[in-house]
């Protein structure tokens, strides 16, 4: 048990271990004229590619703001934290951002399981503002938390209505087995049934499923007019390939199709339907100019500015926070929180955005898009600004 | 027969043949050599990577499929001569050391891949219509290849001189070395063969799934359980084991959720293994 | 350092993993049962607490720990009887079964909606003791420290007792121990149950101090990392693996800020090199150096 070795040696080892622990308290000093922003995302792990995009967009936005004078005269400093697509790691780095680096706001999280893990650490126990910049399944109404990605009704309703208007009556629902797909498909079900359509099947597969054959066969057997799928990476490609190559005659729709994901699916991406707050062909001058500037300044993230990688949401998140701080004339969380509810941006990626009061979500300019075999996306039609049905305004 | 039934039967055959193909390499290394090779999945992965690179840079996946076993076989040879041979008398050590090797390989790939999954197109992408069901030709190719390969390796091991020498060496190395056969190179060659076969499997199946770092690891447990059900000590056992898990799993997956099916099969497998009198699990080799 | 919640939380987490390390050391280091499944029991403890606290109003830490320990012990008992009663099975079969159990648990946690599937169970409330809420990082640290200390003392007592010698006998040679008349099955099952209960209590503490449980906590990754700590630290002692755990966790966190993608690769190399050159773990390094020096002196 405790070896009769030298007690001195054991004490030495223990002492150095404690010293190493102490090394963790070292945090670089904050210059008085700067403000720290916590950027938390998955730089490694299954969603690492999204993290790469997030980091570049955050850096780009912060640089842009600093060049025009910063926020309330102070320059922004980015503190990056990698949540490694693991909620246990996410809580640890979130705690570091809030308790040690003492950031003014945390922007981040890619997957919903990350968000729910770090939400309490940041917003409740940490009493710090938390901005969630991702399209997701809705129902996030916690105090100090603000959502800048699209809510289910914004991504689902237009698509389902479009399919119904094209004469599609029977729908098959498929998704990965966790909160996001389940809630999205629940919304799909709601809208389909309300519009007179019917659901001929609903199936969930594990996140690490290696072979989708069984699911593909079920979809084919259903002979549905439309498949609404929320099977996430890495299963997206093989599943859609299997369904298309298997001779599926219906239309495939989802919430995660755009220039970022199309190449990962391959040429079977042709004809996929979805709605996002941004596609590359969006024509307004501000969007075009900003995206061009981004590609120039961040060649390492070339091609990663897309809606499914949450790029537009990240960009607008930091600007929305800036606007709220300027309105509140303070960085204090409580004051900024109060100011956020009525903030709007006249210019942003995809068009102007504003918080719908009481909902903690944004009124977003949405677009109906169709994927192409070469990886690009066409805009079928511009849907205008859609209000979110969240929190106070549940429908 | 309705197209749905045809598809159902096809799925069972396809899923089973994929698992059997994956297990062939493991049948040699874990089944016959009794090395608890936790990096077998990564050997599959290496084959998949080779195929992917050939597809990307040479635009020819067939070359990748031929190159994969060669590349992975040589890699296996290197592994055996530097690391694996130290652990023949230490199964626990083998387990941990090979786990470490697998970890290094898997995570190294993860850092090199900019996107976390890359699709690979099969060399033959069309489907054939049988009775109203559209069946991917590449899956049929895999079924045929698996059958031929299993028969070929089995024949070599059981009916040829070389096969006899390999089996003798693994059974009783001391006696064999006295008869002038270099046991060192026998072991190395066998491990290389097992690696090559896994590499080949990886190249063949990557078009069905997609290239991602956990490709090997996600399949590993099922592969191990197949080998253990089938019994260590011979080549055919693990393959039978693979069929034994894959077939019920695939059939179940059509009626209940695939996850539940898999869990159920693994569960039954464990219980089954407990009561099967397999001498190989006794301590003190 | 007071008021630095971040540091307190790190130490708390190290203590929790420390309990997991104790459970593996008791099982493997002292009794020779090579288990890959401690994370499964860690997860069971955590999920039980998660379910109880979110579906009912129970938050008393005493009750929560009790429930987790009972759940863990039960699972340990069933598994133990299955594995160790009757005929001997080799340690590799045990390793593989525990591996498979870990796999099944992770799969179940990921797909069962009751368990929150991929999201796990978030929003676990603070624990209470005698009605008062333990809501601060310091409070949670003290709670964990107390449980850890009790666990460590228990382990030391057991190992130093007559029963401990029997455990070691079983570890060193199962067959011979049986010939000598020791009831191998009883020893193995008893220790397996004890380890399971330990691991489950660790999981319970994780749930209340982190505020959430997720499938990754019962997965293969944690199981193998725990084995790594014991291998690196050296089987057969408690302080070795505990120090390895502390050092590695600290390095891990530093690396996460600097070179996140390189860390798992480094871990792999450490494990590999240890297995090849220092199979008895880092604590045997000083002895080895002494030995090689002695060899040089010999003429």
Q: Which residue of C has its CA nearest to A114?
A: C119
CB-nearest partner of C4 from A25, A89, A117:
A25
Strand positions, DSSP E, chain C: 128-129, 132-133
Interface touch C92/B36, C-beta < 8 Å: yes
The confidence score (pLDDT) of residue A53 equals 92
Minimal C-alpha gap between C78 and chain A (Å): 27
Q: Which residue of B has its CA nearest to A265?
A: B119
Which chains share 3+ C-beta pairs under 8 angstroms with C? Answer: A, B
Residue with the two structure tokens 């104790």: C22
Minimal C-alpha gap between B111 and chain A (Å): 8
Spatial CA neighbour of C72 closest among C42, C105, C32, C114: C42
> Which of B15, B209, B216 is the mutation pick for testing A, counting most A CBs within 10 A?
B209
Q: Which helix (H) or strand (E) holds C99?
A: helix C91-111
**End-to-end Cα distance, chain B:** 53
- Residues of chain B found within 8 Å of residue C267, distances taken between Cβ atoms: 103
Minimal C-alpha gap between B86 and chain C (Å): 8
CB A173 within 8 A of CB A202: yes
Distance (Å, rounded) from C-alpha B263 to C-alpha B40?
22
| Dihedrals phi, psi of A175, to nearest 5 degrees | -160, 170
Residue-wise pLDDT tens digits, B63-72: 899 999 999 9
> Which of C158, C260, C288 is the mutation pick for testing A, counting most A CBs within 10 A?
C260
Interface touch C103/B221, C-beta < 8 Å: yes
Spatial CA neighbour of A272 closest among A339, A211, A226: A226
The confidence score (pLDDT) of residue C1 equals 34
CB atoms within 10 A of CB C296: 7
**Strand-pair partners of C132:** C129
Residue-wise pLDDT tens digits, B35-68: 889 899 999 999 999 999 998 888 888 889 999 9
Which chains share 3+ C-beta pairs under 8 angstroms with B? Answer: A, C
Residue C81 burial by Cβ neighbours in a 10 Å radius (0-12, 13-18, 19+): middle
CA distances (Å), B181 to each of B164, B166, B177, C32, in order?
Answer: 12, 10, 5, 37
The confidence score (pLDDT) of residue C93 equals 77
> Which of B36, B283, B285 is the mutation pick for testing C, counting most C CBs within 10 A?
B283
The confidence score (pLDDT) of residue B168 equals 81
The confidence score (pLDDT) of residue A367 equals 92
The confidence score (pLDDT) of residue A12 equals 62
**Strand-pair partners of A252:** A227
> Which of C2, C5, C6 is the mutation pick for testing A, counting most A CBs within 10 A?
C6
The confidence score (pLDDT) of residue B148 equals 93
Interface touch C4/A100, C-beta < 8 Å: yes
Minimal C-alpha gap between C143 and chain B (Å): 34
Which of A67-76, B89-98, B140-149 has the least mean pLDDT? B89-98
Residue-wise pLDDT tens digits, A17-49: 666 666 655 555 555 688 999 999 998 777 878
Spatial CA neighbour of C266 closest among B111, A16, A91, A26: B111
Q: Which residue of B has its CA nearest to C99?
A: B221
CB atoms within 10 A of CB B227: 25
Q: Is the pLDDT of residue B1 over 50?
A: yes
- Residues of chain B found within 8 Å of residue C100, distances taken between Cβ atoms: 221, 225, 266, 269-270
Residue-wise pLDDT tens digits, B235-258: 777 888 888 888 888 888 777 776
The confidence score (pLDDT) of residue C269 equals 87
Minimal C-alpha gap between C40 and chain B (Å): 15
Of the pLDDT bands very low, low, confident and very high (cuts 50, 70, 90), residue B203 is: very high
Task: Look at residue C132 and give its three-state secondary structure.
Answer: strand
Q: Which residue of B has its CA nearest to C109?
A: B259
Spatial CA neighbour of A22 closest among C246, C297, C15, B200: C246
Mean pLDDT of chain B: 83
The confidence score (pLDDT) of residue B283 equals 30
- Residues of chain A found within 8 Å of residue B19, distances taken between Cβ atoms: none
Interface touch B119/A247, C-beta < 8 Å: no
Residues of chain A with pLDDT under 50: 1-5
Q: Is the pLDDT of residue B144 over 90?
A: yes
- Residues of chain C found within 8 Å of residue A177, distances taken between Cβ atoms: 110-111, 113, 117-118
The confidence score (pLDDT) of residue B126 equals 80
Distance (Å, rounded) from C-alpha C296 to C-alpha C111?
60
Q: Is the pLDDT of residue B181 over 80?
A: no
- Residues of chain C found within 8 Å of residue B107, distances taken between Cβ atoms: 261, 264-265, 268
- Residues of chain C found within 8 Å of residue A178, distances taken between Cβ atoms: 110, 117-119
Interface touch C261/B107, C-beta < 8 Å: yes
A300 touches chain B (CB under 8 A): no
- Angle ∠(A59,A181,A142) on CA atoms, nearest 5: 60
Interface touch C119/A178, C-beta < 8 Å: yes
CB-nearest partner of B214 from A49, A206, A208:
A208
Minimal C-alpha gap between A120 and chain C (Å): 7
> In the 3-class helix/strand/coil scheme, how is chain A assigned residue by residue?
CCCCCCHHHHHHHHHHHHHHHHHCCCCCCCCCCEEEEEEEECCCCCCHHHHHHHHHHHHHHHHHHHHCCCECCEEEEEEEEECCCCHHHHHHHHHHHHHHCCCCEEEECCCHHHHHHHHHHHHHHCCCEEEECCCCCCCCCCCCEEECCCCHHHHHHHHHHHHHHCCCCEEEEEEECCHHHHHHHHHHHHHHHHCCCEEEEEEEECCCCCCCHHHHHHHHHHCCCEEEEECCCCCHHHHHHHHHHCCCCCEEEECCCCCCCHHHHCHHHCCCEEEECCCCCCCCHHHHHHHHHHHHHCHHHCCCCCCCCCHHHHHHHHHHHHHHHHHHCCCCHHHHHHHHCCCEECCCCCCCEEEECCCCEEEEEEEEEEECCCCCEEEEEEEEEECCCCHHHCC
ipTM, two decimals, is 0.80
The confidence score (pLDDT) of residue A264 equals 82
Mean pLDDT of chain A: 86
The confidence score (pLDDT) of residue C167 equals 83
The confidence score (pLDDT) of residue B280 equals 36
pTM attached to this predicted model: 0.82
Residue B87 burial by Cβ neighbours in a 10 Å radius (0-12, 13-18, 19+): buried
State the count of interchain CB pairs (< 8 A) between A and B.
84
**Strand-pair partners of B134:** B129
pLDDT tens, position by position, for chain C (299 residues)? 334 778 888 899 999 999 999 999 998 888 888 888 888 999 999 999 999 888 888 778 888 899 999 999 999 999 888 888 877 777 777 877 888 888 788 878 877 777 777 677 887 888 888 878 877 888 889 999 999 999 999 999 998 888 888 888 888 877 777 777 777 888 889 999 999 999 999 999 999 888 888 887 877 778 878 888 888 888 878 888 888 888 888 888 777 666 667 777 888 888 888 888 877 666 666 667 777 777 665 55
Q: Which residue of B has its CA nearest to A204?
A: B257
């Amino acid at each position: 048990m405790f070896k009769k070795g030298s007690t001195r040696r054991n004490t030495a080892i223990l002492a150095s271990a404690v010293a190493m622990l102490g090394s963790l308290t070292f945090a670089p000093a904050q210059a008085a004229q700067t403000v720290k922003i916590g950027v938390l995302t998955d730089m490694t792990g299954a969603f690492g590619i999204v993290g790469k995009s997030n980091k570049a967009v955050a850096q780009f936005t912060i640089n842009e703001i600093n060049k025009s004078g910063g926020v309330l005269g102070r320059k922004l400093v980015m503190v990056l934290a990698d949540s490694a697509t693991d909620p246990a790691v996410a809580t640890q780095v979130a705690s570091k951002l809030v308790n040690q680096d003492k950031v003014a706001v945390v922007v981040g999280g890619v997957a919903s399981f990350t968000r729910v893990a770090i939400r309490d650490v940041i917003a409740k126990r940490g009493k710090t503002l938390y901005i969630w910049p991702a399209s997701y399944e809705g129902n996030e109404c916690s105090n100090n938390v603000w959502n800048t990605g699209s809510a289910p009704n914004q991504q689902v309703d237009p698509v389902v209505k479009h399919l119904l208007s094209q004469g599609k009556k029977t729908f098959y629902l498929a998704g990965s087995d966790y909160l996001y797909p389940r809630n999205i498909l629940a919304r799909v079900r709601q809208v389909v049934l309300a519009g007179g359509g019917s659901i001929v099947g609903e199936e969930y597969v594990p996140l690490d499923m290696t072979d989708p054959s069984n699911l593909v066969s079920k979809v084919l057997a259903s002979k549905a007019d439309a498949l609404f799928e929320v099977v996430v990476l890495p299963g997206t490609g093989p599943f859609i390939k299997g369904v298309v190559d298997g001779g599926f005659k219906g239309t495939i729709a989802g919430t995660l199709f755009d220039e970022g994901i199309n190449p990962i699916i391959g040429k079977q991406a042709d004809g996929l339907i979805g709605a996002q707050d941004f596609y590359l062909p969006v024509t307004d001058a501000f969007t075009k100019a900003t995206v061009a500037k981004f590609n120039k300044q961040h060649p390492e993230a070339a091609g990663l500015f897309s809606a499914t990688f949450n790029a537009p949401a990240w960009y607008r998140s930091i600007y929305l926070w800036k606007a709220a701080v300027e309105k509140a004339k303070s960085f204090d969380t409580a004051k900024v929180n109060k100011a956020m509810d009525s903030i709007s941006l006249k210019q942003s990626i995809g068009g102007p955005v504003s918080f719908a009061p009481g909902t903690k979500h944004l009124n977003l300019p949405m677009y109906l898009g169709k994927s192409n075999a070469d990886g690009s996306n066409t805009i079928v039609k511009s849907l205008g600004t859609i209000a979110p049905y969240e929190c106070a305004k549940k429908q | 027969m309705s197209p749905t039934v045809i598809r159902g039967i096809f799925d069972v055959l396809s899923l089973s043949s994929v698992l059997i193909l994956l297990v062939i390499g493991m049948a040699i290394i874990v089944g016959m050599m009794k090395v608890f090779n936790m990096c077998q999945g990564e050997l599959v992965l290496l084959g998949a990577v080779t195929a992917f690179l050939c597809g990307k840079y040479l635009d020819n996946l067939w070359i990748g499929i031929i190159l994969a076993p060669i590349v992975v076989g040589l890699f296996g040879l290197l592994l055996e001569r530097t690391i694996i041979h130290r652990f023949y008398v230490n199964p626990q050590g083998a387990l941990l050391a090979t786990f470490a090797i697998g970890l290094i390989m898997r995570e190294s790939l993860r850092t090199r891949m900019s996107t976390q999954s890359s699709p690979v197109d099969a060399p033959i992408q069309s489907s054939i219509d049988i009775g109203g069901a559209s069946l991917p030709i590449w899956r049929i190719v895999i079924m045929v290849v698996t059958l031929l390969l299993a028969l070929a390796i089995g024949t070599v091991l059981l009916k040829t001189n070389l096969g006899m020498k390999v089996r003798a060496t693994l059974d009783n190395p001391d006696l064999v070395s006295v008869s002038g056969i270099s046991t060192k190179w026998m072991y190395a060659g066998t491990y290389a063969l097992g690696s090559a076969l896994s590499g080949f499997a990886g190249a063949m199946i990557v078009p069905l799934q997609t290239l991602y770092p956990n490709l090997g690891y996600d399949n590993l447990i099922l592969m191990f359980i197949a080998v253990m059900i089938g019994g260590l000590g011979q080549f055919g056992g693990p393959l039978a084991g693979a069929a034994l898990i894959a077939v019920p799993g695939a059939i179940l997956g059509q009626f209940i959720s695939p996850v539940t099916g898999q869990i159920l099969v693994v569960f039954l497998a464990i219980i089954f293994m407990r009561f099967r009198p397999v001498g190989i699990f006794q301590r003190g080799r | 350092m007071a008021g630095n919640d971040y540091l307190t939380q790190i130490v708390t987490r190290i203590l929790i993993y420390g309990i997991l390390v104790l459970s593996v050391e008791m099982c493997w280091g002292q009794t020779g049962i090579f288990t890959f499944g401690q994370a499964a029991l860690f997860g069971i403890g955590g999920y039980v607490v998660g379910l109880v606290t979110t579906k009912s109003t129970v938050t008393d830490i005493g009750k929560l720990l009790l429930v987790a320990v009972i759940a863990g012990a039960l699972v340990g008992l069933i598994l133990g009887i299955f594995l160790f009663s009757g005929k001997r099975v080799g340690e590799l079969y045990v390793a593989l079964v525990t591996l498979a159990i870990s796999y099944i648990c992770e799969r179940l946690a990921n797909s069962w909606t009751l368990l929150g599937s991929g999201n796990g169970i978030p929003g676990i409330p603070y624990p209470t003791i005698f009605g008062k809420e333990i809501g601060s990082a310091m409070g949670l640290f003290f709670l964990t420290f107390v449980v850890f200390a009790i666990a460590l003392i228990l382990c030391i007592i057991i190992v130093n007792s007559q029963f401990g010698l029997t455990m070691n006998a079983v570890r060193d040679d199962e067959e011979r121990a049986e010939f000598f008349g020791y009831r191998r099955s009883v020893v193995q099952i008893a220790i397996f149950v004890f380890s399971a209960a330990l691991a489950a209590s660790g999981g319970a503490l994780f749930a209340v101090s982190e505020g959430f449980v997720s499938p990754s906590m019962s997965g293969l990754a944690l199981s193998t990392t725990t084995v790594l700590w014991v291998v690196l630290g050296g089987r057969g002692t408690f302080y070795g693996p505990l120090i390895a755990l502390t050092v590695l966790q600290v390095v891990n966190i530093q690396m996460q800020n600097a070179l996140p993608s390189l860390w798992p690769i480094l871990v792999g190399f450490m494990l590999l090199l240890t297995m090849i050159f220092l199979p008895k773990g880092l604590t045997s390094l000083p002895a080895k150096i002494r030995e090689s020096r002695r060899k040089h002196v010999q003429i």
